[in-house]
Amino acid sequence: MPDFAQLARAYLDEEYAQSPTGASSLGLTEYDDQLEDLSESAFTKRSQRTSDWLESFGAFDSSSMEFGDAIDRDLAISSLHRRAIFDGWEVWRRHPDTYLNPGLRGVFGLFLHRLRPEAELVEAAAARLRAVPENLEDGKRNLRDELVPAILLDRAVNQARAGARYARELLPAEVTDGDLRAQLAEAGAVAGAAYEEYAAFLDDMRPRATGDWAFGEDRYSHILRDAEMLDLDARALRERGREQVELLSEELRRCARELRSTDDWHSVLIELNADRPATPEAMRVGYEEWTAKARAFLVERELVSFPDGEVCSVEPSPPFQRPVIAVASYQNPPAFAPSMHGHFFVPYPPDGASAEEIAKRLESNSYASIPSTSVHEAYPGHHWHLSMAKLNPSHLRQWLGTSYFSEGWALYAERMMREQGFFTDLRHRMFQYEATLFRAARIVVDTSLHMGEMEYDDAVAFMLENSSLTEPTAKAEVTRYCSWPTQASAYLTGCLEIVRIRDRFLAARGSDNGDIANLRAFHDALVSSGDMPIALAERAVMATA
């Protein structure tokens, strides 16, 4: 049997070959000209290999391994459990965007990070663009009318059409040399035509798409227990969400009484939403200003340490992402490249959006809500976390991760900044509570949807009742939950677990939340461990307590 380092290397080599766009995102430029094989045979082979790798990693006795290797072993096993559960559900037969994401993200990422000379980037991007039609043909062959949920078709059609415009018109503008631009435009035209054909194929599927998006209670519970290593099942998690909805609603009522002498926190938030940026660019500037303020606060209070060279820019969201994601997002610097430059994407409206839709999108990014989102996405949320995690020497931890840690950390970052006095304006504190309530509502909705106990319209109504979302944003959110089971529950679930671990860590050091030196030590140690299931992160950080 190979030693653990050899096994991990062989596993990662196979992973990179199966997911070349993922490998590129780590900075492994030798994969830049390749796209994923999305054929039925590739998915079948990968599922078989999942079982093989589970057996191989399981053959190691963690009690006889080095501390870090034992954690890496359990990380690989938890990730493989997640994959096996989703493989059994056959996402590749159900979700049309499976065939859109590699080509779009794989090309966009090359120019986002620019790790190679422009001529080499263009050559690699053109190769990926020319491979897009085969990915989309695989989608046409693999998708099953009786499994594809109709609710996911609009989302994929809009993304495909936005992708066509990106490939044809926007991508060539990334380069200045005329010959290179022409090379990129030629390949972009090939991809653009394929995206349009795929959109037409999905449009034609609408009358026949009768699939169920519900993941199922058993699968959901297995994700929580086997992949996330939590002592919870789907129903227990839903009850936790309901409890948090009640607690956070009371906090919001308290804020509303203080601010407007009313218990109707929802009407107060709607009123505050009216104070919103006038344009998408004004929204971007607002996020940029609060990102800078959050970083300065962390430096002044010494709440975290900073890796050398990190920088976070605040930019418009990618055009092909706008029909799919109505909230802010983040792209971390490549793990294996020198760059420490992260990108905080502001949720611009999709191309062709009406004036009313643009206004609604801007209301969901009001001036009162921008501070907490800036903390979540940048400092000390995703950007700071993933910049620190990049320093971890384990290649497995650079490849494997879970949103239950990354999103849990980002929501914890909001809470910690509130506790430390960053949100001095009551309106800002109120929106931070609302952001947490929104994540509690997500738990209730996501579990209920996938256990088959809540319908789409009920879920939208619940999100509107328990957040300041506008209706278009609430619908986009619920569609996302239908397409990505278990992820929406990650935020508050992870946050509460991190608070619990923090209390345990500080108690072990004989201190409390007011001890800034030990609080900083906790923050640095936790995020430096990587992006792992909470139980593994707890093992890593408590070893330093």
What pLDDT sits at residue 227? 97
Give the model's confidence band at 96: pLDDT under 50 very low, under 70 low, under 90 confident, else very high. very high
Q: How far is CA 236 from the centre of its chain?
A: 24
Instruction: Clarify whether residues 117 and 240 are in a common domain.
Output: no
Does 326 have pLDDT greater than 80?
no
Q: Are residues 384 and 481 in the same domain?
A: yes
Tokens coding 200:
């037409």
Q: Lowest-pLDDT range, 300-304, 349-353, 530-534?
A: 349-353
Give me the amino acid identity at 117. P
Secondary structure E strands in 470-517: none
C-alpha–C-alpha distance, residues 541 and 304, integer Å: 15
Cβ pair 378, 294 in contact under 8 A: yes
What's the total number of domains in the chain? 2
Residue 29 and residue 90 in one domain:
yes
Tell me if 79 is assigned to some domain: yes
pLDDT at 4 over 70: yes
In a domain, 188, yes or no: yes
Task: Single out the residue in 161, 192, 208 at which a domain terminates.
Answer: 208
Query: Domain check: are 147 and 200 in the same one?
Result: yes
**Mean pLDDT computed over 427-442:** 96
Find out whether 202 and 157 touch, Cβ atoms under 8 Å.
Answer: yes
Cβ–Cβ under 8 Å, residues 147 and 93: yes
Q: Final residue of a domain: which of 157, 173, 208? A: 208
Residue with tokens 């609603």: 249
Q: Are residues 145 and 270 in the same domain?
A: no
Segment 83-112 shows an average pLDDT of: 95
Separation between Cα atoms, residue 397 and residue 531, nearest integer Å: 7
Q: Are residues 435 and 537 in the same domain?
A: yes
Phi, psi of 325 (to 5 degrees): -120, 120
Q: Is residue 416 assigned to a domain?
A: yes
**Mean pLDDT of all residues in 431-447:** 97
Q: What pLDDT score was predicted for residue 351?
A: 83
Residue 225 lies in a domain: no
- Coil vs helix vs strand at 522: helix
Same domain, 287 and 360: yes
Does residue 152 surpass a pLDDT of 90? yes
> Does residue 213 sit within a domain?
no
Same domain assignment for residues 241 and 169: no
Angle ∠(198,200,206) on CA atoms, nearest 5? 105
Work out whether the CA dihedral 53, 59, 60, 61 comes out positive or negative.
positive
Q: Would you state the pLDDT for residue 1? A: 58
Q: Which residues contact 294 (CB under 8 A, 6 or more apart)?
A: 371, 374, 375, 378, 379, 380, 417, 422
For all residues of the chain together, what is the average pLDDT? 95
The CA distance from 33 to 291, in Å, is: 34
What pLDDT, on a 0 to 100 scale, did the predictor assign at position 530? 95
Residue 222 domain-assigned (yes or no): no
168/313 same-domain check? no
Order of all β-strands in the sheet with 329-331: 311-316, 341-346, 329-331
Helix 67-89 / helix 534-542 crossing angle, nearest 10 deg? 170
pLDDT digits (tens, 9 = 90+) for 448-476: 999 999 999 999 999 999 988 878 888 88
- Interstrand relation of 311-316 and 341-346 (parallel, antiparallel or unpaired): parallel
Q: 323: cis peptide before it, omega within 30°?
A: no
Note whether residue 367 is domain-resident. Answer: yes
The residue type at 452? G
Q: Tell me: the pLDDT tens digits for 276-313?
A: 999 999 999 999 999 999 999 999 999 999 999 999 99
Q: Are residues 322 and 392 in the same domain?
A: yes
Contacts 24+ apart (CB under 8 A), 315-318: 315/284, 315/343, 315/344, 315/345, 315/346, 316/280, 316/284, 316/345, 316/346, 316/348, 317/345, 317/346, 317/347, 317/348, 318/104, 318/108, 318/166, 318/345
Q: What are the respective helix, strand and coil percentages of the chain, to the nearest 5?
A: 70, 5, 30
Which of the four pLDDT bands, split at 50, 70 and 90, describes residue 247?
very high
φ, ψ of residue 343 in degrees (nearest 5): -125, 115
What pLDDT digit, counting tens, does each position of 376-431 carry?
999 999 999 999 999 999 999 999 999 999 999 999 999 999 999 999 999 999 99
Q: Per the structure block, which two tokens stand in for 357?
A: 């839709």
Same domain, 352 and 497: yes
- Domain span at 349: 234-542
pLDDT of res. 19? 97
Half-sphere exposure of 421 (CA within 13 A, CB side): 6
Out of 208, 243, 272, pick the residue that ends a domain.
Answer: 208
Q: CB–CB of 475/87 below 8 Å?
A: no
The C-alpha torsion from 40 through 44 and 50 to 53, rounded to 10°, is -110
179 and 295, same domain (yes or no): no
Domain-located, residue 122: yes
Residue 270 pLDDT > 70? yes
